[in-house]
Amino acid sequence: MQKLRGAGIILACCAWACTAGADTLTGTLQSQIQLTAGCMIAGSSGAASGVNFGTLDFGTRPSTFTGTVQATASGGESVSGPTQLVCSPDVLGISIQVGPGNYAGLGGAIGAGTRAMRNGNTAAYIPYDVYRDSGHTQVYPLAAAIAGIAVPANGAAFPLPIYGQINKTDPTALPAGMYMDTLQVTVTY
């Protein structure tokens, strides 16, 4: 009987200990994220510097061509198709500055344009201009931004408003090769 009473006491103590450990701890855990107003190239990770705005690819022409050739910014952040921007719904307008490039003012004897592309390390240039509109009426100045560019209020993607045009008026043939320039682009929102 002594043994049974001792076992009962032990069982009672174990039951009390288990019950004592069944208390609860309650409270709250807050979750949060802060979103800031911003714009990015559609399909990108949202980096703010070192952004790839794509290429103004004027295609392939014979070295004897004359006339106008147009290009639209495409391939931004390595996404195929036209480069598009996406801005948060609270961004209602942006300004864009397109730098002068590496060869601004060169090649004027070949045609019209404030910027120029160069053939490798040669002295051969093709002038061109960069416009805000696809109708090629509003040239981006060399050292200033164009402000007040409207963006969709619903946060939808829209084409990057940068359009290029070559206007080669001189019928003189140019050396064959790849003509290139690099433009610094700054979007402010």
pLDDT tens digit sequence for 64-106: 999 999 999 999 998 899 999 999 999 999 999 999 999 999 9
Please give the model's pTM, rounded to 2 decimal places. 0.82
Reduced to 3 states (helix: H, G, I; strand: E, B; else coil), residue 176 is coil
Which has more confidence, 20 or 87?
87
Residues contacting residue 137 through CB under 8 Å, at least 6 positions apart? 131
Look at 22-31, 37-46, 72-81 and tell me which has the smallest mean pLDDT.
Answer: 37-46
Q: What is the structure's pLDDT at 3?
A: 52
pLDDT tens digit sequence for 144-183: 999 999 999 888 999 999 999 999 999 999 999 999 999 9
| Cα–Cα distance list, 188 to 70, 91, 112, 163 (Å) | 26, 10, 29, 18
The amino acid present at 186, given as its one-letter code, is T
Reduced to 3 states (helix: H, G, I; strand: E, B; else coil), residue 70 is strand
Residues counted in the chain: 189
Which has more confidence, 4 or 182?
182
pLDDT band at 48 (very low <50, low <70, confident <90, very high): confident
